Chains A and B, each alone.
Chain A
Amino acid sequence: AQSVTQLDSHVSVSEGTPVLLRCNYSSSYSPSLFWYVQHPNKGLQLLLKYTSAATLVKGINGFEAEFKKSETSFHLTKPSAHMSDAAEYFCVVTLSYNTDKLIFGTGTRLQVFP
């Protein structure tokens, strides 16, 4: 069965320092993986998407993620955190091959301190 595990429920960084949000996946096939962000009282917004093309995926707002099959990981990074990055981040895998039905991780809450 498909699943994702977000290794940290909370991450705190100072503004201007790097961000690393960790995600491991389990999949019986070559998966499609996503990162979504959820700001308070707002809907989910797609940050980036991996669908078996380049393993380093660039997203919006300076975020990127690298697909590492050998480590079954899809960690999200950003070189320099901004206050507006404070939100809940979800790592997501598709339910089965070639479908857009999604399985979400439990989320990582990112806090950014001035």
Chain B
Amino acid sequence: ETGVTQSPTHLIKTRGQQVTLRCSSQSGHNTVSWYQQALGQGPQFIFQYYREEENGRGNFPPRFSGLQFPNYSSELNVNALELDDSALYLCASSSATGGVETQYFGPGTRLLVL
């Protein structure tokens, strides 16, 4: 176990709704990254937060947004859900030191959009 937790574990929403996913980072880590893993695919980088600021974004539309809190936990928000948003959403935490740090992944939240 990595110490990274995510909630909820599973979620069912309908198209057009909004969803919030939560992530608690491993103790001592100040960076959280979010990834989307569609069925049968590798995870894709959504964005990263470092000390409450967005620190890089992948090829995802603005309806994917996030927050990081002073305790370094994080939220991923998705507005106007589409069927293709159905996926496993993974968060990963790391301790940014200016180099290539190892990311530690949580178990994920599985989102189904109907």
Contact = CB atoms under 8 A, between A and B. Distances in A.
B79 interface: no
Nearest to B96: A100
Interface in B74-114: 90, 92, 94, 96, 98-108
> Per DSSP, are chain B's interface residues mostly helix, strand or loop, or mixed?
loop
A42 B107 contact: yes
A110 B30 CA distance: 34
Nearest to B57: A101
Interface residues of A, number: 23
B4 A107 contact: no
Given A42-B107, A90-B42, A104-B43, A99 B56 contact: yes
Interface in A35-65: 36, 41-46, 49, 51
Most buried by A among B40, B96, B98, B106: B40
Nearest to A95: B45
Contacts of B102: 46, 49, 100
A103 B98 CA distance: 18
A106 interface: yes
B100 A98 contact: yes
A87 interface: no
A43 B31 contact: no
B42 A105 contact: yes
B90 A103 contact: no
Interface of B: 2, 4, 31, 33, 35, 40-45, 48, 56, 58, 90, 92, 94, 96, 98-108
Interface of A: 32, 36, 41-46, 49, 51, 90, 94-95, 98-107
Nearest 7 CB-CB pairs, A to B? Answer: A104-B42, A44-B105, A43-B107, A32-B100, A43-B105, A100-B101, A104-B43
